[in-house]
Amino acid sequence: MIRQVQKIRIYPTNAQQLQLAKAMGCCRFWWNYALNKIIESYKETGKSLSRSGLNALLPNLKKEFPWLKTDVYSQSLQQTSLNLSRAFINFFQKRARFPRFKSKHRKQSVAFPQSVKVEGDYVKIPKIGLVKAVFERRYVGKIKTVTVSKDSCNHYFASIIYELEACFINGKGDKILGIDLGIKDFAIVNDGSKTSKYKNPKHFDKHYKNLARKQKKLARKKLDSNSRNKAKKLLAKVHARISNSRQDYLHKLSRNLTNDSQVIVVENLNVKGMVRNHKLAKAISDCGWGMFVNFLSYKLKREDKHLIEIDRWFASSKICSNCLYQMDKMPLDIREWTCPSCQTKHDRDENAAKNIRAEGIRIVQSEGTPDSARGGSVRPGLGIMTLSFGYCR
Ligand SMILES: [Zn+2]
């Protein structure tokens, strides 16, 4: 997993500045207290105090100084212990000088391990709330640690450490979507945290009944009769209506998904087309999968975003998205199953969408270029190159 640090300017409100000042004060206090304890311990025993040794001092200290409980997120103090023990390791390995006491006149900081979220143009910080932020680029991945700092000009910054899935310039839509195309549901979309199902529109059924009726009528007409020509025209109208409403639906759906994302991963349609089941083949062509993938492709391309098509040999529905166990068989009529290895209960389509997304990410991370992408392919003309981590450096 690649780690990436992003430093952004943040704009806390006056109330938030006060809360941050308190939290930074607590961390500074704890750093200095702990550093002093380590120095004392050295003088007395010749030994340092470990990180857990430091953390063990905290409960009593919080009783003595109750503001260590109220004014700061407890994880922030533990992160300070970690930073201090790392500072000592660096000192002993001759990579850094002896850790120094922190002054309130210098740069201040407080760290938040794991509980921070990025929500739109805000960073959500425990005990502080939503803080306005300016992002120049967006990263997709798990947020590990966020350190909020204040410099001598009273400017606030957040350094966010991500376990990276990908990164993008200009964050309009920042998701990687895996899409499984289906028949009961038209598209099953996984964005890494949730799965959405998009139904085949119901009004198609209505059109199809109409179509069948008009086809029957036409069949009963005499050849070269006037009424036959009339019936032909009526039938053509129904066809046009179906095709318009299908296109309309596919345009809207592909537009919404494109707005939401930077990369969309789908299975190569040849896979689906290879199914030698006549009924299924008709359903597939009716759904307009090919049209949909085309719409996605050019909409994404116009915005410098990317479509990745996964290779036909990738068994998206047979693999457990949780533990990667591969089933021998997965007949089409099985909609739900339990992984024999990790006991995870799967919805067939959701599991496939998750696998497709993961495979797309794997391709982006490991291969970077369409030509070398062994496990998948990229539509001609779509430069997956730009997705390589060159952006991030
Ligand atoms: Zn499993």
CA of 339 to the centre of ligand 1 (A): 5
Query: What DSSP letter does each residue of 58-94 carry, written as one string?
Result: HHHHHHHSTHHHHSS-HHHHHHHHHHHHHHHHHHHTT
What positions carry a catalytic annotation?
180, 267, 349
User: What's the average model confidence in pLDDT over 267-281?
Assistant: 60
Q: Which residues contact 93 (CB under 8 A, 6 or more apart)?
A: none
Closest CA to 36 of 96, 86, 92, 84: 84
pLDDT of residue 280: 59
List the single range of 143-147, 196-200, 313-317, 335-339 with lowest mean pLDDT. 313-317
Report the C-alpha gap between 176 and 140 in whole angstroms: 8
For the chain, give every domain's residue range.
Answer: 2-168, 175-392
Measure Cα distances from 275 to 280, 285, 328, 358 in Å.
7, 12, 18, 24
Q: Which residues does 327 contact at the CB level (< 8 Å), separation at least 6?
A: 318, 319, 320, 337, 340
Residue 40 reports pLDDT greater than 90: yes
Residue 26's pLDDT band, with cuts at 50, 70 and 90, is very high
Query: What is the CA(130)–ligand 1 centre distance, in A?
Result: 37
79-93, 154-168, 249-263, 338-352: which has the minimum mean pLDDT? 154-168
| pTM for this prediction | 0.56
What digits encode the pLDDT tens for the residues 1-19? 667 788 899 999 999 999 9
Please report the pLDDT score of residue 381 as a whole number: 32
- Model confidence pLDDT, tens digit, residues 232-247: 888 888 888 887 888 8
Give the Cα separation of 296 and 303 in Å (integer): 11
CA of 325 to the centre of ligand 1 (A): 5
342 CA from centroid of ligand 1 (Å) = 4
Contact 264, 308 (CB under 8 A): yes
In this structure, which amino acid lies at residue 46? G
pLDDT at 104 over 50: yes
